[in-house]
Structure 1
Amino acid sequence: MFSKLKFLFSYMHQYRWWYTGGILFLALTVWVSVTIPEFIQRSIDLIADGRAGNEADFNKNVLIIVGLALALILVRTFSRILIFIPARLIERQLKGEMFRKLSSFGKDYYDENLSGSIISRINNDINGLRLIAGFGILQIGNIIFSLSLTPYKMWQLSPALTLYCIVPMVVVFIIVRIGMAIMVKNTRLQMNTLQRLSGKTISFLSGNSVIKSYNIYDYAEREVQKENISLFGQTLKIAWIRSFVMPLLFNLGQILKIVVLFVGGMYVINGKFTIGELTGYIAYAALLSQPIMGLGWVLTIFQQGFVGISSIQTILERRGADEKRQALPDEIKANLFGDGIRVKNLNFTYHNGEKPELQAISFTIKPGQVVGITGKVGSGKTTLINCLNGYLRPEKGMVYFGDLDAADLRSEDIRSSVRTVSQEVFLFSDTIENNIAFGSEKAPTKNDFKEVIYKSSFADELARFPKKEKTLVGEKGIMLSGGQKQRISLARALYTPCDLLILDDVFSAVDTDTERFLIKQIFDNHPAKSLVVISNRISVLEKTDFTIVLEEGRMAAKGNHRELLEQSEFYRDILALQQES
């Protein structure tokens, strides 16, 4: 509990002057609220007195009531503005921090956590914290001030009647407190179920084409329905508790009015109370019921919010992949690839793997070289390049940039020199132009947009789109074919100059003519100092300075086209197969 409060106050402290102003206006709100019944009481007594000559006093009291009511509207509005705005600012800040933190995590985190669960944490859990920082703080201040001033005013009128009012309040509060404890337990289960439902929904929507291809609609519907029914059941339990607890809170004011009317009415009959005092007391009883209702909401908000804070803390307190690594000075980073990359006896095992994915791999990439990587499916090609670009982090002493060990370098520094066009193409739901320019904000230089479009063999197709480069590609590029998406991804890599460009099977979704054109542009024009090309196409591999053949995570052969024809059976097989085709 203390760690959660400390976490909350660390954000609220930044906006302490906002909260201070809000609390001051909230105090004024409560003061005006408890002052109005005094003038109502005087006005009613003047009416009950019914004597001529009281008109001036009556009009004066009514004008004061109207003035106080207008002042109440003003100070209440300011109290909410000054408290709710910092809550929204905290929400915005937290979402930004969580996104930056999530961006710093490695592959192991995303293997263990579903995307839907992460999205649910960012949206739902932060909302709980925002409610604490906004509505929760407002209600706490309202409760403190109201329960200080209102009972004092009631006690001044009648101590005995005040004690009569306290009894139902205590009973209702105990019942509500028990109900809230049960409700929070179910709320925690509801949030976990919602995260699972979000994860499955996003997975099934992303894999919609697979579901259609294999005709497994029933399976997808059953899985979603199972979590949906579970969420419904937990939500219904919360609704049952609320349907019992909330009426008690909402009708507490009516209960108090009945008590006041019965006991206070007897006082009036016996001459202990005037009609005006009874009316004023009823007004105070109504004011007193509001903070008690607010107390129930505060308990709910804080308990739900603390569940959300726990979830947020698990992300913010987790160390990022580069948290312990120091950023390189600009002059060193600019020359990071000056001596190339040296791979020395590289071994790599995934965090959830049982056996090594790569074993005893050694080679050097010098500036100006074009290197090919080939092998069967699952031989470790993509794993190898991800060890070079910093996405996967091997142990120390295995990958070097010049004399610098890659294990000590930040991913951001590595990727300032190394750019990868991955096998899994991802396009954002934006224009073609913005997708190509994505990631170039910090680049000191950029290539000409039209030239990049031409080199990626996308110029003719772009010209056919009515809106040209302003064309929206849809969610994950759904409006485009696989080849079009791959060429836009290639254009994105070519748009910003880099030292080492890694192409992971970028020719797989294009036709033969487009392949020839891309090979010419990439190999003849050298868009980067050095190239690493993953491919099983001999037309690509025969143009490299040397090619590495991987088999079951090991380097089975290494050499140029002629050397590999002598060394590698796999290389000879794919050549024969492609010649027959």
Structure 2
Amino acid sequence: MPALLSIHQSVIKALRLMTKSKFILHYFLLNKFSYLFAIVCIFVVNYLQVEIPRYIQLAVDLLNESTLASKQGLVENVQWVIALSVVMVVIRILSRVYSLNPGRITEATLKNDIFQRLNRLPSTFHAQFASGKLISIINNDLNGIRLFYGIGFLQLFNILFALSLTPIWMWKISPALTLYSVIPIIIASIIFRIGFRRLRALQAERLTRLQDLSEQLMNYLGGIDLIKNQQMGEWVTSELNEVNRRLFDCTMKIAKIQTIFMPILDYANHFMKVLILGLGGYYLLQEKLSIGEITAFLSYSVLLAIPLMHLGRIVTVYQMGMISIDSVQNILNNEVPSTDLLRMDIDQKSALRKSTLLVKNLSYCYPSATNGQSEMVLKDLNFSIEPGEKVGVLGSIGAGKSTLVNCLNHHLSLQAGQIFWGNKDITQVSRQDWRSYVRTITQDPFLFSDTISENVKFGSKQQDQAADQLDMEQVLELSQLSEDVRRFSDGDQTLVGEKGIMLSGGQKQRLSIARALLTPSDLIIMDNVLSAVDYETERTILKGVFNRIEGQSLLVVSHRVSALEYMDKILVLEQGEIIARGTHAQLLESSSYYRHTWQLQQHETEDSA
């Protein structure tokens, strides 16, 4: 195990320190055979392109002759032009297929890699990166990487082979005319480089602006009901207009540079053609060149112009690719905790089943505390949950209940030696393995835009277990949701909408309870999940849960005493400390805080009735 841990740590460090060149090479090698075949095809296409004008030259020179041999030679040269053109078209199609497809493959692979990394990164990473920014990176930045590995690769080798083969054939016809033709290209390249530098900075700014816009949209769409209720539409519109205006200004600057600097090479190509015609006509009069040679030279100038015109595009693709790789590396180079890369085998998992959860001197403070002063949210908590034991945690708002839950389910990063499962420190257990022992039901459950049935069965899918229809009906009954489901026209096939928008708060909470009850686990944590139901429904649900999870441990966190009165023991949490513990009857006698809360809530219940 130590050797395996060392290997995983080495892999993590290598990924974290992966340079941009290594990143590019790594994903190039994923499609190396496709790229190698594409390079061969691109070379053949460019070779045929420079061979065809040679046959055109021979054919044009034979037009002035009227002999039978010249006519036969003319026909042969034309046939060669047609045959080479057909072969070139076929090979060009193959070159595009095998050079563009890897871009799509790389994009799909990167999306999987990014999703897996995001799924493994701790909560501290997600606290730094808003969901809107991550979505923008996955959509916009990966699009730039796809172009980089697809059209960028194709055009790069097209330009390399064209700029290396074409001048050689031009030099064979006339070295002097070739040198004169290069002059406008050199001048245009110097001007082009000025715009290239400015364009790179603007491309980086544009992707940042897109991330800002995506983040704002996610925030406002998430709170759309509040915006409508508080009549904040005008303010939100003005804020979005400001973000959008900055993106528009940046995009317009890019468009201006592309309009002014990018066509410079195209202008140089036109000037080169004029130069060839002028000097070529002079050499023709001097009988230094034939009409066929001038025709071939003009054909070569066209072949030279095509990659020059594409150079502006490939520069843009290259810049977008480099900037996008920086954004993606911000995700991939973040360190995944080494323990999360380790997985226990079946025997190790079985040995820890039905263990005792032991909390020893648990203290926690959030790392994002302001002014560098960290205030303890949890202070020296000590308790245990035995197999099959039902434990409650009572606390007011701000007492530290949610922090305690996030420590127990290892959502937060902890120091070693504070929480144990049996004899195993949970900081030495991967979060994925830990989820197989502990199931958390939160007060704000996340539902997928799918049917009620699929949302309930989601947990069993994650555990690779099949849930039959009978089990699902039972958990719907236990969570007091079956009556609501029967009232729906489509029953359990009713679509709940995005984030469960078609359901009420209480229905969403009960659906999340049904999801957790469907698949067995050793410890179920219910974090204030009954806050949106009435007291009678709360008691009925808890009784059903007790019957369903016979032999399993249960931790119920609530600010309601009524949800905890049937627990084996209750912990009273106040300002991060346990101020009392015992059964419901014991706490009514010994804890004034518990007794006062109980009496107050009893009066509220009577008033509601």
Residues 76, 59 of structure 1: CA spacing in aligned structure 2 closer, same or farther, 3 A cutoff?
same
Q: 2:161 aligns with which of 145, 149, 154?
A: 145
- 1:92 maps to 108
Query: Would you say how many aligned residue pairs link Structure 1 and Structure 2?
Result: 581
The SS at the match of 2:460 is coil
Indicate conservation of the 8 Å contact 2:185/2:269, yes or no. Answer: no
Q: Cα deviation per residue 1:106-165 (whole Å; 9 max; x = unaligned)?
A: 221111111111111222222222222222222221122112211011111111110111
The SS at the match of 1:510 is coil
1:492 aligns with 2:512: no
- Per the TM alignment, residue 50 of structure 1 is displaced from its structure 2 partner at its CA by 5.7
- 2:244 maps to 228
Indicate conservation of the 8 Å contact 1:104/1:322, yes or no. Answer: no
Q: 1:211 aligns with which of 227, 236, 244?
A: 227
- Per the TM alignment, residue 298 of structure 1 is displaced from its structure 2 partner at its CA by 3.0
Structure 1 CA distance for aligned equivalents of residues 64 and 298 of structure 2: 17
Indicate conservation of the 8 Å contact 1:429/1:474, yes or no. Answer: yes
Alignment of 1:398-413 (within 5 A): 398-413=418-433
- 2:384 maps to 364
Amino acid at match of 1:143: I
Alignment of 1:442-521 (within 5 A): 442-443=462-463, 445=465, 447=467, 448-521=471-544
Indicate conservation of the 8 Å contact 1:337/1:401, yes or no. Answer: no
The SS at the match of 2:578 is strand
Indicate conservation of the 8 Å contact 1:128/1:308, yes or no. Answer: yes
- 1:71 maps to 87
Structure 1 CA distance for aligned equivalents of residues 18 and 389 of structure 2: 58
- 1:3 maps to 19
- Per the TM alignment, residue 470 of structure 1 is displaced from its structure 2 partner at its CA by 2.8
**Which segment drifts farther, 507-516 or 401-410?**
507-516
- 2:607 maps to none
- 1:198 maps to 214
Indicate conservation of the 8 Å contact 2:523/2:555, yes or no. Answer: yes
Amino acid at match of 2:406: N
- 2:566 maps to 543
Structure 2 CA distance for aligned equivalents of residues 507 and 260 of structure 1: 84
Indicate conservation of the 8 Å contact 1:425/1:489, yes or no. Answer: yes
Q: 2:441 aligns with which of 421, 437, 443?
A: 421
Indicate conservation of the 8 Å contact 1:373/1:547, yes or no. Answer: yes
Residues 252, 460 of structure 1: CA spacing in aligned structure 2 closer, same or farther, 3 A cutoff?
farther
Alignment of 1:33-72 (within 5 A): 33-49=49-65, 54-72=70-88
1:559 aligns with 2:582: yes
Structure 1 CA distance for aligned equivalents of residues 456 and 595 of structure 2: 37
- 2:119 maps to 103
Alignment of 1:123-134 (within 5 A): 123-134=139-150
Residues 471, 250 of structure 1: CA spacing in aligned structure 2 closer, same or farther, 3 A cutoff?
farther
- Per the TM alignment, residue 280 of structure 1 is displaced from its structure 2 partner at its CA by 1.1
Gaps of 5+ in 2: 1-16, 605-609
Q: Cα deviation per residue 1:324-371 (whole Å; 9 max; x = unaligned)?
A: 764333222234243310111110111113201100111110011111
- Per the TM alignment, residue 294 of structure 1 is displaced from its structure 2 partner at its CA by 3.1
Alignment of 1:95-494 (within 5 A): 95-323=111-339, 326-353=342-369, 354-443=374-463, 445=465, 447=467, 448-494=471-517
The SS at the match of 1:350 is coil
**Which segment drifts farther, 161-170 or 506-515?**
506-515
Residues 154, 246 of structure 1: CA spacing in aligned structure 2 closer, same or farther, 3 A cutoff?
same
**Which segment drifts farther, 314-323 or 91-100?**
314-323
- Per the TM alignment, residue 534 of structure 1 is displaced from its structure 2 partner at its CA by 1.3
Structure 2 CA distance for aligned equivalents of residues 321 and 365 of structure 1: 27
Structure 1 CA distance for aligned equivalents of residues 505 and 340 of structure 2: 39
- 2:36 maps to 20
Q: 2:548 aligns with which of 525, 535, 555?
A: 525
Residues 194, 306 of structure 1: CA spacing in aligned structure 2 closer, same or farther, 3 A cutoff?
same
The SS at the match of 1:215 is coil
**Which segment drifts farther, 55-64 or 356-365?**
55-64
The SS at the match of 2:63 is helix
Residues 271, 184 of structure 1: CA spacing in aligned structure 2 closer, same or farther, 3 A cutoff?
same
Structure 1 CA distance for aligned equivalents of residues 353 and 578 of structure 2: 24
Structure 2 CA distance for aligned equivalents of residues 513 and 247 of structure 1: 75
Indicate conservation of the 8 Å contact 2:440/2:525, yes or no. Answer: yes
The normalised TM-score by structure 2 is 0.91
Amino acid at match of 2:456: I
Structure 2 CA distance for aligned equivalents of residues 429 and 464 of structure 1: 20
Structure 1 CA distance for aligned equivalents of residues 271 and 139 of structure 2: 39
Structure 1 CA distance for aligned equivalents of residues 441 and 18 of structure 2: 47
Q: 1:571 aligns with which of 594, 600, 608?
A: 594
Indicate conservation of the 8 Å contact 1:446/1:497, yes or no. Answer: no
Indicate conservation of the 8 Å contact 1:473/1:480, yes or no. Answer: yes
Structure 1 CA distance for aligned equivalents of residues 339 and 196 of structure 2: 40
- 2:8 maps to none
**Which segment drifts farther, 301-310 or 398-407?**
301-310
Residues 323, 83 of structure 1: CA spacing in aligned structure 2 closer, same or farther, 3 A cutoff?
farther
Q: Cα deviation per residue 1:9-52 (whole Å; 9 max; x = unaligned)?
A: 11211321111100000011101111111122223223344667
- Per the TM alignment, residue 207 of structure 1 is displaced from its structure 2 partner at its CA by 1.1
- Per the TM alignment, residue 2 of structure 1 is displaced from its structure 2 partner at its CA by 9.8
Indicate conservation of the 8 Å contact 1:347/1:394, yes or no. Answer: no
**Which segment drifts farther, 200-209 or 36-45?**
36-45
Amino acid at match of 1:520: K
Gaps of 5+ in 1: none
**Which segment drifts farther, 336-345 or 54-63?**
54-63
- 2:7 maps to none
Indicate conservation of the 8 Å contact 1:494/1:527, yes or no. Answer: no
- Per the TM alignment, residue 74 of structure 1 is displaced from its structure 2 partner at its CA by 0.7
Structure 2 CA distance for aligned equivalents of residues 422 and 179 of structure 1: 53
Q: Cα deviation per residue 1:270-329 (whole Å; 9 max; x = unaligned)?
A: 322222221111110010112223333333322321222122222111111355764333
- Per the TM alignment, residue 520 of structure 1 is displaced from its structure 2 partner at its CA by 2.1
Structure 1 CA distance for aligned equivalents of residues 27 and 442 of structure 2: 39
1:32 aligns with 2:55: no
